[in-house]
Amino acid sequence: MEKCFRIFFLLPFLLGGCGNGGSSNDIVAPNIQDVPTFSWSFSLPEEEGMDPDKLEEVLQYVFDDDFNTQGLMVVRNGKIVVEKYQGISDSTISGLLSVFSDENLLSWGTGLSYDDFQNIFGDKDKDSLATSWSSAKSITSSLIGIAIEQGFIDSVDEYASSYLPDWIGTDKENSITIKNILEMRSSLKCPPGGNGGSSIYFQEDQLTPSKDRDFNPDISEANPPYFNNWVYCNADTMLLGEILQNATGKSVQEFGDYYLFSKVGMSVDWWKDGQGNYLAYCCIDMTTRDFARFGLLWRNEGFWDGEKIISSEWITESLSSGINIDWSDTTFYNYQWYTHNKFTDDDDSIEVYGFGAKGYNTNNIWIIPSYDLIIVRNSLYHRHIKVGTEAVRTGNINDWVDENDRDKANYHLTLYPGNLALIGGQVYLFDNSNVHLFNSEAMVKALIESITN
């Protein structure tokens, strides 16, 4: 089933507090009358120089039954030309029922029926929450830039130990700059697990193991596994959240609410660990439209309704470091953003500059400045909250020994963009015919090629 809605809203958020560390600046509650209003405008594809027939082909690809796409927004020239939402497909439900029929497999889908899957994933629209996963890293980086602009932090060249008191008196004091962390070049050991050291994701306290890391002696320019000293690590971004907290006296959620989210009209719910530490490296819940607002803010070089939210200097700096990472010749890492100079599908490539905030299971925001194009794609999402009412990540669902334990933990999940399930690092195919996976670069390339002028 699919639905498409065109409604807009603004949620102002007020808070107060004071900064510490790098500055004595106060965060003063804004006058609600000063909060700008914004509403999306809509336009037909042909009015924005896009071929509607080619766009329809893109939609058919993105919303293939196997790809578990919840929402897609395409914004050109600041106007929405595509907005579509869809729930779970029958083929995916059949595949999941087959996977979880294995009596030895206990995980989030154990014991769920066809109707259960439909109730969880079947009804998605413009008000449905999506989650950022690692796309949150780009938002955290933006908040660091705002904190520098507001005087809470002097510069990215400051040593991180100035805002991480636990590092004083250790070998990390005056050794790692904020810039090193922004670029994922802290040279610290990353916790075990895939996807950037995912083992911390299941811990009650995710901040302490992020701070209490030793240097990795194997990291060097000459060591191929650590190309350009770059190691993608969630724990590094977790440190950025703590730096912001100690510099401003406000969490990433509170600081973001005041300086960014309320101004842009983003309604943000940011997940925490069991100790109340915000997961700065991931896990912001908001609608697909709100992710598009963040993309539009960056496309507009930090301006929103005439107000400068993010400085042009920070945007330029954030996208300029261009660290060539080890798995691509055309993809680069910057201040928690990815930049591309080429987009490739199965057949050929198109050479064009673009940058993106990328999250697990292709929860991505793409920005192609030369075409004034913003693309947001989200996977089908569910947040399962049983412990209290807040978005607090507790428990490791991969360690369940009984299906009833599912009600003892807060967790969230998105469906994989393909005809398989990843459970505890193990791949489970829906069938044995072939693996059918979504290619986000192919989507971006096709959307660029749909532009006629």
Closest CA to 268 of 247, 294, 301: 294
pLDDT string in tens for the chain (453-residue length): 333 322 222 222 223 333 333 333 344 333 334 445 789 999 999 999 999 999 999 999 999 999 999 999 999 999 999 999 999 999 999 999 999 999 888 889 998 999 999 999 999 999 999 999 999 999 999 999 999 999 999 999 999 999 999 999 999 999 999 999 999 999 999 999 888 888 899 899 999 999 999 999 888 665 666 778 899 999 999 999 999 999 999 999 999 999 999 999 999 999 999 999 999 999 999 999 999 999 999 999 999 999 999 999 999 999 998 888 867 788 999 999 999 999 999 889 999 999 999 999 999 999 999 999 999 999 999 999 988 889 999 877 777 777 777 777 899 999 999 999 998 888 999 987 789 999 999 999 999 999 997
Reduced to 3 states (helix: H, G, I; strand: E, B; else coil), residue 142 is helix
- Contact yes or no for 400/106 (Cβ under 8 A): yes
- Residue count of the chain, please give it: 453
Residue 54 lies in a domain: yes
| CA–CA gap between residue 96 and residue 380 (Å, rounded) | 14
User: Could you tell me the two tokens for 366?
Assistant: 């793409």
DSSP string, 371-393: GTEEEEEEE-EEEE--SSSS-B-
* Global pTM value: 0.91
Q: What's the structural domain count of the chain?
A: 1
- Contact yes or no for 126/83 (Cβ under 8 A): yes
Helix (H) or strand (E) holding 291: helix 288-299
Residue 449 lies in a domain: yes
Q: Which residues contact 368 (CB under 8 A, 6 or more apart)?
A: 352, 353, 354, 374, 375, 444, 448
Residue 439 lies in a domain: yes
**Which structural domain range is residue 382 located in?**
42-124+341-453
DSSP string, 320-336: T--EE-TT-SSEEE-SS
- Contact yes or no for 15/257 (Cβ under 8 A): yes
User: Could you tell me the two tokens for 288?
Assistant: 């697909």
Q: Which residues contact 137 (CB under 8 A, 6 or more apart)?
A: 237, 280, 281, 282, 336, 357
Which stretches of 126-214 are DSSP H helices? 136-149, 178-182, 194-197, 208-211
Reduced to 3 states (helix: H, G, I; strand: E, B; else coil), residue 11 is coil
| CA–CA gap between residue 165 and residue 350 (Å, rounded) | 47
Number of Cβ atoms within 10 Å of the Cβ of 18: 13
Closest CA to 255 of 27, 51, 25, 10: 27
Residue 88 lies in a domain: yes
| CA–CA gap between residue 317 and residue 241 (Å, rounded) | 20
Residue 386 lies in a domain: yes
Using alpha carbons only, what angle is made at residue 439 by residues 85 and 360, rounded to the nearest 5 degrees? 70
Number of Cβ atoms within 10 Å of the Cβ of 261: 25
| CA–CA gap between residue 290 and residue 286 (Å, rounded) | 6
| CA–CA gap between residue 227 and residue 101 (Å, rounded) | 42
Residue 48 lies in a domain: yes
| CA–CA gap between residue 209 and residue 270 (Å, rounded) | 20
Residue 145 lies in a domain: no
Residue 326 lies in a domain: no
- For 130, phi then psi, to 5°, come to -115, 170
Instruction: Give me the pLDDT at residue 42, please.
Output: 97
Strands 381-384 and 411-414 turn out to be: antiparallel
